């Protein structure tokens, strides 16, 4: 046989085989896509009757003031949603009316049954005439990379389903949050996130844009539901107060019992950095600015999350700031004059209004810690919560006054904390800041 | 001609006194003091006449010549008739009237003049006095006189103004967060001094307008001396605020100092610029002080928001050399701070 012929024959066979494989591969991909789409479609069709849009209607104007999503979790009409969706109603029940809108366009009123303000969950109830279908809550947590489906009504556009991926729990967070890769938009808050078996594994709660979404893990809902089954709360306000008190106790004991690592700031100051993953620190200085009169180095540490109580009232925040300043070719008098302007306008770390808190009460004195390594002008301010007894916002400011041309400012704000915890923290904090 | 002339009020006196008084009356009636006064009863001119007949009018032939265009050339005559001074209107166009604060003014023709009578002719007013009219008691020099004299001395004044300018320049320098050169400070400092000299200049102008001595230098000297004292009280206030803790009462006491200084300055302004009774001077200076501080307090109070989300705390810092008090311990601070929670609870319940 001619050698060239053999070669031609062989190449034909090889190409033929390759073509076959490629075709098989493409068709496989194609079929996979179909199954994903089919799954989403199937899940959506199956679950729609138990999905609701939750609306708060302003009684005076008769128009809706906020919207969110919710899903039924029992046959007798108990619906789970986010606390922040119904927060206005929880705070001012006489001003609003709560309503649901189901997939057939039926509307009726809802009653508020129980809330978990820390995990941003709420249970509301509709009237049912006969047992209805409901969402089953999953008993196990998803594994990383698992495909999940988020359901909700974004921007009042109608119920949609968004596929996405489970990416574990957010690490730098005190209260657990699932990191979900998929677009969650406003209005979807309170909607369920289900796995392929159509079981609820989380609740839509927040987004930080670009496909990064956050979910409340399903076990928080299970806990809330179980305690509701055992004994429904007699007053939502008292329930919230209990939850806030318990949560600040947990947070503050975590902070107080962690390792406070002494670090150097600007080479001269010794400052405490609390070694817990949910307190994150950032730094900044003006060392590059040649014409600055004062060299400044700032370290900021804060808790990334806070607790939503109403759109104008947040709590549960922790902020710590250290500032080292050194005069460059500047007299002591002018340095202290500018230094004074720096510390004159410390403010609250959280948003709160007249209806929520009292005005700040302040005390100041010249204070030296036990190690005698610094002399501070110290200011402590506190304001009390009006609706939640024995919770306060506190603010501390310490300004060193023992060096002619150097200064160390130590400052923190904590919101929604008890007197005992805040004073324990203040004492530990004041003793931990000094000159090296 | 004079013996029969008895004042109506003096008729009731006993004969011995009458005899004694007759001399006075006699003398009083030959001399008459006619004062030109403004509508606000301020003295413009004073004439002492020793003639039995005085002509008043716009014409140059008169004894008292008035420039008021509403007065006739020969308007009124005041004549001694039987020991009484009598007004005789010279058939003037606009007439002669007797001013009486209690009643409506009435025509003064043929009126017998009494001490203190005010007659109006045209738009001018004349006040009549006789020589026995009592005068107010002599005002003693106040103990401040030597201080006032020292402060109005040009060298003292120059030093005060220079000191004031220097201090305001220093404050501008301290407040600027960036580097500044000398001329950048000089302009606002001089501007500040000029601005502050408006007050004494204004008072001098007012006293000049009210026919008092202007005494510009004295007013300037006193004001700048007090402005400098105010800087000093400001410094003192800062030192106290820096050294005191919240528990201290000193801060309240020291806050009174600028008010006292302002009162003293205003009192001296009145003393230098205007002739007024001690009581009136007191009332005026207390009034202006109250207006100044009360007004600024009211403005501050009216601008105060219903709710302040920001803490209001003492943020006064000074260099270590101004630190005079010993430091508290952290425990003491915590103990004091603990008391705030009760206050906060009360504030939360109150509103």
CA dihedral B148, B154, B159, B163 (to 10 degrees): 80
Give the minimum alpha-carbon distance from A173 to chain B in angstroms, rounded to a whole number: 27
**Residue A339 has what pLDDT?**
92
**Residue B7 has what pLDDT?**
44
Task: State the Cα–Cα distance between residues B110 and A109, nearest whole angstrom.
Answer: 99
pLDDT band, residue A122 (cuts 50/70/90): very high
SS3 (DSSP) at A78: strand
Say yes or no to pLDDT of A353 above 70.
yes
Contact (CB<8Å) A359/B307: yes
Q: CA nearest A410: which of A373, A361, A360, A384?
A: A373
* Whether the Cβ atoms of residue B56 and residue B126 lie closer than 8 Å to each other: yes
Cα distances (angstroms) measured from residue B6 to each of B13, B22, B48, B81, B85: 11, 7, 21, 12, 11
Task: State the Cα–Cα distance between residues B106 and B83, nearest whole angstrom.
Answer: 23
* Whether the Cβ atoms of residue A105 and residue A124 lie closer than 8 Å to each other: no
Site from A351, A377, A414 to mutate, B interface, most B CB atoms within 10 angstroms? A377
Site from B171, B310, B332, B344 to mutate, A interface, most A CB atoms within 10 angstroms? B344
Task: State the Cα–Cα distance between residues A110 and A392, nearest whole angstrom.
Answer: 33
Contact (CB<8Å) A333/B319: yes
Helices in A180-278 by DSSP H: which ranges? 218-230, 236-257
Close Cβ partners of A389 (under 8 Å, ≥ 6 residues apart): A241
Contact (CB<8Å) B347/A346: no
Task: State the Cα–Cα distance between residues A143 and A149, nearest whole angstrom.
Answer: 14
ipTM for the whole complex:
0.83
Give the minimum alpha-carbon distance from A120 to chain B in angstroms, rounded to a whole number: 25
Give the minimum alpha-carbon distance from A267 to chain B in angstroms, rounded to a whole number: 21
Say yes or no to pLDDT of B21 above 50.
no
Between residues B138 and B128, which one has the greater pLDDT? Answer: B128
Contact (CB<8Å) A354/B351: yes
Say yes or no to pLDDT of A145 above 60.
yes
* Closest by Cβ to B179, choosing from A293, A343, A365: A293
SS3 (DSSP) at A416: strand
**Residue A20 has what pLDDT?**
58
- Residues A151-176 have pLDDT tens digits of 998 888 888 888 999 998 887 788 88
SS3 (DSSP) at A389: coil
Say yes or no to pLDDT of B13 above 50.
no
**Residue A28 has what pLDDT?**
52
* Whether the Cβ atoms of residue A54 and residue A70 lie closer than 8 Å to each other: yes
Q: How far is CA A321 from the centre of its chain?
A: 21
Give the minimum alpha-carbon distance from A139 to chain B in angstroms, rounded to a whole number: 44
SS3 (DSSP) at A317: coil
Provide the whole-model pTM.
0.78
- Residues A212-221 have pLDDT tens digits of 899 999 999 9
Say yes or no to pLDDT of B6 above 70.
no
Chain A CB contacts of B315 under 8 Å are 340, 343-344, 379
- Residue A34 CB coordination number (10 Å): 10
Say yes or no to pLDDT of A46 above 90.
no
Site from A338, A358, A395 to mutate, B interface, most B CB atoms within 10 angstroms? A358
* Closest by Cβ to B177, choosing from A293, A344, A426: A293
Task: State the Cα–Cα distance between residues A81 and A100, nearest whole angstrom.
Answer: 11
Asked which of A130-134, A155-159, B233-237, B259-263 is least confident by mean pLDDT, the reply is A155-159
Say yes or no to pLDDT of A7 above 60.
no
Contact (CB<8Å) A360/B178: no
Tell me how long chain B is: 351
Q: What is the largest CA-CA distance in chain A?
A: 107
**Residue B18 has what pLDDT?**
41
Between residues B5 and A357, which one has the greater pLDDT? Answer: A357
Task: State the Cα–Cα distance between residues A189 and A84, nearest whole angstrom.
Answer: 8
Contact (CB<8Å) B311/A395: yes
Site from B167, B235, B250, B311 to mutate, A interface, most A CB atoms within 10 angstroms? B311
Q: CA nearest A168: which of A183, A156, A178?
A: A178
Give the minimum alpha-carbon distance from A112 to chain B in angstroms, rounded to a whole number: 27
Q: What percentage of chain B exceeds 90 in pLDDT?
A: 48
Task: State the Cα–Cα distance between residues A166 and B187, nearest whole angstrom.
Answer: 67
* Whether the Cβ atoms of residue A48 and residue A105 lie closer than 8 Å to each other: no
Asked which of B25-29, B96-100, B278-282 is least confident by mean pLDDT, the reply is B25-29
Contact (CB<8Å) A381/B315: no
What 8-state DSSP symbol labels residue A225? H
A95 Ramachandran zone, left/alpha/beta (phi>0; psi -120 to 50): alpha
SS3 (DSSP) at A207: strand
Return the residue of B nearest to A327 by Cα.
Answer: B177
**Residue B2 has what pLDDT?**
40
């Amino acid at each position: 046989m001619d050698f060239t012929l053999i070669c031609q024959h062989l190449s034909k066979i090889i190409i033929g085989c390759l073509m076959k494989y490629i075709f098989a591969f493409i068709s496989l991909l194609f079929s996979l896509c179909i199954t994903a789409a089919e799954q989403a479609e199937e899940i959506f069709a199956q679950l729609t009757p138990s999905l609701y849009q939750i609306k708060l209607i302003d009684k005076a104007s008769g128009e809706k003031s906020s919207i969110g999503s919710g899903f039924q979790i029992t046959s007798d009409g108990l619906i789970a949603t986010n606390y922040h969706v119904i927060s206005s109603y929880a705070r001012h029940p006489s001003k609003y009316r709560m309503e649901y809108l189901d997939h057939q366009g039926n509307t009726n009123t809802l009653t508020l049954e129980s809330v978990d303000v820390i995990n941003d969950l709420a249970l509301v109830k509709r009237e049912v005439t006969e047992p209805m279908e409901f969402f089953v809550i999953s008993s196990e947590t998803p594994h990383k990379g698992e495909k999940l489906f988020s359901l909700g009504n974004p921007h009042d556009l109608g119920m949609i389903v968004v596929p996405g991926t489970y990416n574990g729990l957010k690490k730098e967070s005190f209260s657990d949050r699932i990191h979900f890769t998929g677009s969650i938009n406003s209005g979807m808050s309170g909607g369920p996130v289900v796995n392929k078996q159509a079981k609820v594994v989380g609740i839509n709660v927040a987004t930080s844009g670009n496909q990064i979404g956050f979910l409340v893990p399903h076990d928080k809902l299970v806990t809330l539901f179980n305690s509701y089954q055992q004994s429904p709360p007699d007053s939502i306000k008292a329930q919230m107060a209990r939850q806030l008190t318990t949560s600040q106790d947990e947070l503050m004991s975590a902070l107080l019992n962690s390792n406070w690592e002494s670090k150097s700031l600007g080479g001269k100051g010794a400052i405490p950095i609390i070694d817990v993953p949910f307190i994150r620190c950032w730094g900044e200085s003006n060392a590059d600015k040649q014409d600055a009169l004062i060299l400044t180095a700032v370290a900021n540490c804060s808790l990334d999350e806070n607790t939503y109580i109403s759109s104008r009232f947040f709590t549960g925040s922790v902020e710590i700031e250290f500032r080292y300043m050194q005069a460059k070719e500047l007299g002591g008098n002018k340095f202290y004059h500018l230094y004074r302007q720096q510390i004159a306008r410390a403010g609250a770390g959280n948003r709160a209004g007249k209806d929520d808190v009292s005005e700040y009460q302040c005390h100041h004195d010249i204070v030296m810690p036990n190690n005698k390594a610094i002399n501070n002008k110290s200011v402590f301010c506190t304001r009390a919560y009006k609706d939640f007894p024995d919770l306060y916002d506190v603010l501390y400011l310490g300004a060193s006054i023992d060096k002619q041309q150097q200064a160390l400012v130590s400052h923190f704000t904590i919101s929604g904390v008890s007197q005992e915890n805040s004073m324990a923290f203040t004492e530990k904090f004041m003793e931990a800041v000094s000159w090296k | 001609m004079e013996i029969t002339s008895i004042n109506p009020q003096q008729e009731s006196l006993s004969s011995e006194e009458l005899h004694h008084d007759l001399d006075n009356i006699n003398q009083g009636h030959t001399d008459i003091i006619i004062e030109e006064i403004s509508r606000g009863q301020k003295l413009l001119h004073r004439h002492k006449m020793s003639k039995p007949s005085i002509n008043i009018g716009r014409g140059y032939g008169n004894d008292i010549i008035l420039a008021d265009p509403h007065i006739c050339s020969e308007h009124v005559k005041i004549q001694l008739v039987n020991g009484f001074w009598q007004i005789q209107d010279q058939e003037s166009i606009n007439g002669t009237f007797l001013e009486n604060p209690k009643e409506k003014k009435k025509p003064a023709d043929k009126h017998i003049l009494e001490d203190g009578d005010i007659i109006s002719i045209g738009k001018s007013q004349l006040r009549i006095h006789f020589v026995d009219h009592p005068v107010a008691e002599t005002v003693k020099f106040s103990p401040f006189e030597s201080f006032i004299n020292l402060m109005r001395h040009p060298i003292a004044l120059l030093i005060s103004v220079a000191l004031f300018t220097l201090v305001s320049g220093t404050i501008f320098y301290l407040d600027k967060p960036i580097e500044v050169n000398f001329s950048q400070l000089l302009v606002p400092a001089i501007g500040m001094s000029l601005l502050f000299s408006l007050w004494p200049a204004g008072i001098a102008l007012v006293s000049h307008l009210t026919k008092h001595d202007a005494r510009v230098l004295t007013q300037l000297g006193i004001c700048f001396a007090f402005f400098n004292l105010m800087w000093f009280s400001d410094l003192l206030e800062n030192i106290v605020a820096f050294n005191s803790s919240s528990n201290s009462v000193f801060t309240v006491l020291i806050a009174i100092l600028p008010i006292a200084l302002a009162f003293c300055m205003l009192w001296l302004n009145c003393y230098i610029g205007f002739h007024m009774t001690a009581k009136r001077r007191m009332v005026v200076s207390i009034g202006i002080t109250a207006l100044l501080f009360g007004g600024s307090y009211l403005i501050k109070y009216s601008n105060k928001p219903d709710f302040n989300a920001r803490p209001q705390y003492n943020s006064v810092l000074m260099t270590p050399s101004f630190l005079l008090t010993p430091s508290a311990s952290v425990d003491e601070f915590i103990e004091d701070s603990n008391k705030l929670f009760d206050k906060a609870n009360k504030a939360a319940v109150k509103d």
